[in-house]
Every structure is written in structure tokens, then in C-alpha cells.
Amino acid sequence: MLHRLFGLAALFALAGASFCSHAQQRNPDQMMGQTVLDQPAGSYRVERFVVGSADGQRRWRVNLLIPGNASSAPSPVLYALDGNAVAMVLDRSMLDQLAASKAPPVLALIGYDNERRIDSAQRTRDYTAWIDRADDEGGTQQVVGGGAFAFLDLIERQIKPQVARRANVDIQRQALWGHSLGGLFVLSSLYTRPAAFQQYVAASPSLWWSQGAPLGDLEKQFIENRAGQPAQLWVMLGGDERSGNRGVRDMANPRVVAHLRRIGGAAPDAAHALSERLSGLPGLQVQYREFAGLGHGPMLPASFKATLSALYGIADRSGEAATP
């Protein structure tokens, strides 16, 4: 399968114009710029707090969006990973619709305390429950990841209490959303602490991580030991992801080549197959949704917009083109 993958990618690279090649590859240095957090809708207010690691070396920034006209009843709360990127997806009209919904949610956008849209190095450590040993673009073996359980502890012990102090939240209606490695974090959280949240949304989960380790013992133990703790799981995947269409890639870029080599650790349709395996487990409601024509990157905004619609009933804007 890897030979076919590389052959297809190389063919696209030769045939496509360089403009398309660069347009379809994520810029790892992209900054947030101005977002709805800087000029929020009147329907929501924004509060911000920072939590740090015990050694003081690492910091996470949480942007908290709280409905301005929340009722006395506790609000559902959505914890979103890659919070800086999610802030770039939200706009005023979405917030206005959420505020007008039956139960306006609190949104807790968990990012890193910097201006990067995506902080690759930090999220690689925090979002993965498995150590990965793979060659980087220079052929040097890297040992990375494995921090998911510590990061979930931080969410439970530092972030959730701060959110509860600042907003009236319903602890029986807590949701967790993540994309890519974030989607992988959602799954490992479900497997190990199914009562931490009631709704789990795993978008384009990186099941290839560590040579497909997420498809191993942790999943099997969860299936075998499932005791019926009620939870809902959404698995979302782009149609191009499932078909294995990686689009136009710059095969002269060593980083791209190294990444394509790593993602061969799982079949392109592994997320769909996973949803089938988990369906029917006691107490677990599983919904799978596929987004026709979308690849991995565009799935971040599409899946988050779809999540707001599925959980809170606002218009589904996942079909809109992603903002550059």
C-alpha cells in the first residue's frame, strides 16, 4: 500500500502546478491574526486564563466564550482542542446562533499560550497516548509523544475547575472535540476515562500514529471491559481521507515525504472501520459522518462547524469553504 501511496503522490506532484502544491499543504508557521475573540459578538463574552505545568516550563491558554444572556440553568460546555485554530473558525453569526439556541453552550478553546495557529511540537506531546519512534525528514529517529494522560489530568484538575468558577456549566453535558492528533486524544480519553465527558467528537483521528498503535490494546481493552457508562461518540472523516486521496503534495519537501511515510501505519478508512467496531457497545452511541471531497486539513473547520450543529442545533455550515 505504501508503494501505491508514494507513487500516487509523486504523480500528482509532477502533474500539478506549484501553486496547488503549496495551497494544499499546511503552513506550520501560520499565526492566528485577528479572530472573533478580538471583536466578539454581543451575544457572548470572552474570558481568558492561562494554566501552567508544575515545573513552570509549559503554558496553555484557554479562551472561554460564555453566553451573554445565559439562563439560570447550567449551560452545556464544549472543550475544543487546538483552540487557537478553532478561534479562527468561529465568527459572530455562529455565536449569535448558539446564543439563540435552546441551551446556549459555553465554549472552552484550549490552545497554547502563543500566537501560533497550530503548535505542532506541543500538541504532538500532549495529544498522544503512545510513544512514537519514527524517522524525521532528515532520517534521524525521533522519540515523541506519550503525554495524553498527563494532559487529560491537566484538563480535569486545572482547566475544568477554572471553567466552573467562571461559568455556570452542566457537568452532565460536557463535550470534547479534537481533530487529527486531537481526534486521537478524544479516543484515548474515551477509552480510559469514559465518564470525563458525555459527548466525544473524534475528527479525522490519527490512527496511524506509532505504526497504528491506537488500533491495538487500548481499543481492545475498552471493547472487552465496556461496562455501559453512557456516552456519545461522533467519528468524522473526510471522503478524500477515506479513499486515500492525499491531493497534490510537494515530494521535494522532506517533511512531506516523512509524513506520508508515517501515515502508512493505518489504512485510510481505519476511522470508518473503528466506528463499526465500537457501534453496539453497551451504553455507547456511535455516529459516523463522512464529508465528501474533503481531505485532512479542511476537516478541522468542517468538523467543528458540524459539531456545533450536531450538539446544539444551529445551522450546519460545514459545507462552506474554509477560510485561508
Q: Please write the tens of the pLDDT for every residue from 29-51.
A: 899 999 999 986 789 999 999 99
Q: Alpha-carbon distance 184 to 148, whole Å?
A: 9
In this prediction the pTM is 0.88
Q: Is 180 a catalytic residue?
A: yes
Whether residue 10 is predicted with pLDDT greater than 50 in this model: the reply is no
324 lies in some domain: no
**Domain total of the chain:** 1
Q: Is 296 a catalytic residue?
A: yes
**pLDDT value for 291:** 98
Lay out the sheet containing 284-291: strands in order across. Answer: 44-52, 59-67, 106-112, 75-80, 169-179, 199-203, 231-238, 284-291
Q: Is 259 a catalytic residue?
A: no
Which residue in the list 43, 179, 210, 241 is annotated as catalytic?
Answer: 241
30 lies in some domain: yes
Strand-pairing partners, residue 285, are 232
In sequence order, what are the residues at sequence separation of 6 or more whose Cβ sits closer than 8 angstroms to the Cβ of residue 270? Answer: 207, 208, 212, 215
Q: In this structure, what CATH number is given to the domain that contains residue 122?
A: 3.40.50.1820
3-class secondary-structure state, position 119 = coil
Which residue in the list 179, 275, 296, 303 is annotated as catalytic?
Answer: 296
Residue that wins the pLDDT comparison between 6 and 306:
306
318 lies in some domain: no
| Residue 164, domain extent | 2-312
**pLDDT value for 72:** 83
Length of the chain: 324
Judge contact between 175 and 209, C-beta under 8 A: no
55 lies in some domain: yes
